[in-house]
A = this chain, B = another copy of it.
Amino acid sequence: MNAEILSIGDELLIGQVINSNQAFIAERLNTVGIYGDKMTTVGDQKEEILSAFGRAYESHDVVTVTGGLGPTHDDITRAVVCTFFQTDLIINDEALENVKRIFARRNTDPRKINEEQALVPRGCTVIQNRLGTAPGYFFERDRKVFIVMPGVPYEMKAMMNDFVIPYFEKRDTGLIIRHRTLKTTGIAESFLAEQIGDVRELFSPDSGMSMAYLPSSFGVRLRITAKVKSIEDAENKIRSVELKLRNKIEKYIYAADEAELEDTVGKLLTERRLTLSVAESCTGGLITDRITNVSGSSTYFERGIVTYSNNSKIEELGVSPGLISQHGAVSREVAEAMAAGIRVQSRTDIGLSTTGIAGPTGGSPEKPVGLVWIGYSDQDNTFAIQFHFGGERRIIKERAAQAALELVRRTLLKSTE
C-alpha cells in the first residue's frame, strides 16, 4: 500500500516551522508496510487544499492530513474535509466531554470556539485527542483510508500510536518493509563507499534489498532496506548485509537505528561499571545535555561543570592560573588539566573536557574560530586532541560534542583491544 503525507499550513510554506510531522508519520506507516511515496505541503487556502485532497486521494491507498484543525479563524481544514466528502458537521459528545475535561483541569470554562472543536464531519470515525481539544477524523471509502489529524506534533503522535498504527496492524498490507541504519563518523562518504565496494557484493539486484548513503555534518549513515514478503525474510536478509558491512567498516560504526552516540557510550560505561564526569567550556553544557537524554544515565554520569569563565576553571577544576596565562584557556594544557581536574574532584573513572572557540567572535590567526581541544583523563592516561571544526557557532558546538563522545567510545574500545 502506498500513502501520500499531506501537511497544511502557511507557517510551513513560509519556512517558519520545520515540518517534523511528515517524517514521523512516514516512519510509523513504514512499520506496518505502508510506503509513503509522496509528501506535499500546501497553505491555508480552500482551493489549494481541495485540489491537494483530490490528487492525493486519486493515486494513493492511504492519505494522511495534518494541520489546520485549531479553534482560530485561520484553521479551515475541517470545513474543506466536509466539502471534499460532501458532508456536514455534527457534535461529538465524547469530544465535547474532552474539551470540558481539559478546561476543568485548568480550573476554567471552555470558550465557545473551544466547544466548537467538538464538531466533526458526519460519517467519519472520530479519533479522540487525549492531549488537546481538536479531535482527528478517519474516513474509509472506496477501499481507501483518509486520516485527518491536528498539526501539533505531540497530539498527532499520540493519535498515530494509539489509533492509526493499531488500525493498520489489524489489516494485511501484503508487503513487509524493514530498515536498518548503521551510523558512522570520522570517515568521508567517498572513502566509505570505496571501503564498502560494489553494492552487488552485498546483495543481488532482485533480492528486494537496497542500500543508501546518508551524509550529514556528523558523519555518514548507511541505510539497508528490505521490501519483501515476510518479516523473517526481511530480518535474515538485513542481518546478512549488515554482517558484510561490519566486516569492512566496523570501527567507524558507532550506533544503529534509533540509538545515538550517547546511548552507545552509556552502554559501554554501564557494562564496564565505569563512571564519567564532564568539564565543558565551548560546548556549554551540550555534552551533559546529550548524556542525560539517556534514561538511567544517573548510574554512570556523576556531574558536569560548565566552566565558562577562567575563574570558574580555576575554582571548580583546580586549573592553575599560571597554566591559563601561559598557554591560554584554549590549549592542550588547559584541556588536560580540566579533564584531570573534574575526574579527581568527582572521583569518577573518566574525566572529559572541551575548550575552544565557538565564535563568531574571539578567534585569532593562531587560534581561529572552530579550534577545539578535547581532553580525556582516566587513572592511566591524560591527553587532549586538537580539532578544527567548520560551520557557525551552533554547528561547532554540535560537532565538538559529537567528537568528545566519540573520543570516549574509541578510547574505551581501544583499552580492550
A114 to chain B, nearest CB (A): 5
Residue of B25, B40, B210, B216 touching A40 (CB-CB under 8 A): B40
- Is B113's CB under 8 angstroms from A190's CB? yes
**CB-CB under 8 A for A305 and B308, given A106-B188, A214-B16, A292-B284:** no
A217 CB–B CB distance under 8 Å: yes
Which A residues, 32 to 66, have Cβ-Cβ distances below 8 Å to chain B? 35-44, 48
- The reply to whether A15 and B38 contact each other, CB–CB distance below 8 Å, is no
- Taking CB as reference atom, which chain B residue is nearest A390? B131
Query: Which residues of A in the span 51-96 have a Cβ within 8 Å of any Cβ on B?
Result: 70-74
Interface residues as binary, A266-283 with B (CB distance below 8 Å gives 1, 0 otherwise): 000000000000101001
A111–B190 touching, CB < 8 Å: yes
* Given A11-B214, A48-B37, A72-B189, A16:B179 Cβ within 8 A: yes
- Pick the contact of A17 from B23, B133, B285 — CB < 8 Å? B23
Provide the bound-state CA to CA distance between A34 and B254, in Å: 42
Bitwise interface map of A from 348 to 385 toward B, beta carbon under 8 Å scored 1, else 0 = 00000000001111000000000000000000000000
Given known pairs A15-B22, A113-B193, A284-B289, the reply for A303 and B302 (CB within 8 Å) is no
Which residues of B sit under 8 angstroms from A288, Cβ to Cβ? 284-285, 306, 308
A242 part of interface (Cβ distance < 8 Å): no
Q: Which residues of the partner chain B approach A391 to less than 8 Å between Cβ atoms?
A: 154
A332 beta carbon closer than 8 Å to chain B: no
Task: Name the residue among A12, A17, A41, A44 with the largest chain B CB count within 10 angstroms.
Answer: A41
User: When chains A and B are docked, how far (Å) is the Cα of A375 from the Cα of B304?
Assistant: 19
Closest B residue to A7 by CB, please name it: B39
Query: What is the predominant secondary structure among interface residues of chain A facing chain B?
Result: mixed
Residue of B nearest to A133 (CB): B190
Contact A304 B303 (CB under 8 A): no
Assuming the contacts A39-B41, A188-B106, asked whether A73 and B305 have C-beta atoms less than 8 A apart, the reply is no
Q: Output the least CB separation between A415 and chain B (Å).
A: 24
Known A215-B70, A312-B346; judge A285-B289 contact (CB<8 A). Answer: yes
Q: Let me know if A255 is at the binding interface, CB within 8 A.
A: no
The answer, yes or no, to whether A411 is at the interface (CB within 8 Å) is: no
A74 vs B223: C-alpha distance when bound (angstroms): 11
- Please tell me if the beta carbons of B15 and A36 are within 8 angstroms of each other in the complex: yes
Q: Which of B30, B111, B194 contacts A111 (CB 8 A)?
A: B194
- B19 contacts A22, C-beta separation under 8 Å: yes
Interface residues on A, range: 35 or more
> A163 contacts the other chain (Cβ, under 8 Å)?
no
Within the assembled complex, what's the spacing in Å between the Cα atoms of A217 and B64?
Answer: 22
Closest to A23 in B: B15
Name the B residues within 8 Å of A42 (CB-CB).
37-38
Q: Give the distance in Å from the alpha carbon of A10 to the alpha carbon of B114 in the complex.
A: 39
| Chain B nearest Cβ from A56, distance in angstroms | 11
- A234 within 8 Å of B (CB atoms): no
User: Which residues on the B side are within 8 Å of A30 (C-beta)?
Assistant: 14-15
- Residue contact A212 to B74, C-beta cutoff 8 Å: yes
Pairwise interchain contact B285-A189, C-beta atoms closer than 8 A:
no
**Chain B contacts for A346, CB-based, 8 A:** 312
Q: Which chain B residues border A297 with CB–CB below 8 Å?
A: 284, 308
Selecting from A137-145, A245-253, A392-400, the interface stretch reads A392-400
**Residue A128 is within 8 A (CB to CB) of chain B in the complex:** no
- In the complex, the answer to whether A289 meets B292 with C-beta atoms within 8 Å is no
CB neighbours (8 Å) of A278 from chain B are 306
Task: Please report the C-alpha to C-alpha distance between residue A189 and residue B110 in the assembled complex, in whole angstroms.
Answer: 12
Asked if A23 and B27 sit within 8 Å, CB to CB, the answer is no
Check if B214 sits within 8 Å of A17, measured CB to CB: yes
Q: Given A13-B35, A19-B39, 14 other A-B contacts at CB below 8 A?
A: A12-B39, A14-B223, A44-B212, A74-B211, A111-B191, A154-B395, A280-B285, A284-B288, A284-B297, A285-B291, A285-B292, A288-B306, A305-B306, A305-B316
